[in-house]
Amino acid sequence: MQTLTLANIYELQGLKEEALDIYKEVLKKDPQNSDAKIAIRRLSGMRKKFLNVNAQMKEFFLKMESEVEYNEFERWLLKAWN
């Protein structure tokens, strides 16, 4: 069942694409749903802001082997979300 609650749970778990898909389905069924509209704008903006960067940083994260790399990734996260 595609609901705002499920989309919100996905979003909180970091599953942004899955949440975005659900918000879009909710909006198809209820075109006046302001919560879904706001969520779609929010998540679409985040996706554009970090286009390709997430893939690069995911690869970096998966291959980290040192404390220096961990610290670099942590700095990137802090900068990206501020």
Question: Quick count: other Cβ atoms within 10 Å of Cβ 64?
Answer: 13
Calculate what percentage of the chain has a pLDDT beyond 90: 34
Give the residue among 29, 34, 7 at the shortest CA–CA distance from 19. Answer: 7
Q: In the prediction, which pLDDT does 70 show?
A: 86
Structure confidence at residue 77 as a pLDDT band (50, 70, 90): confident
Structure confidence at residue 52 as a pLDDT band (50, 70, 90): low
Calculate what percentage of the chain has a pLDDT beyond 70: 85
Q: Locate the domains of the chain by residue range.
A: 1-49, 51-82
pTM for this predicted structure: 0.56
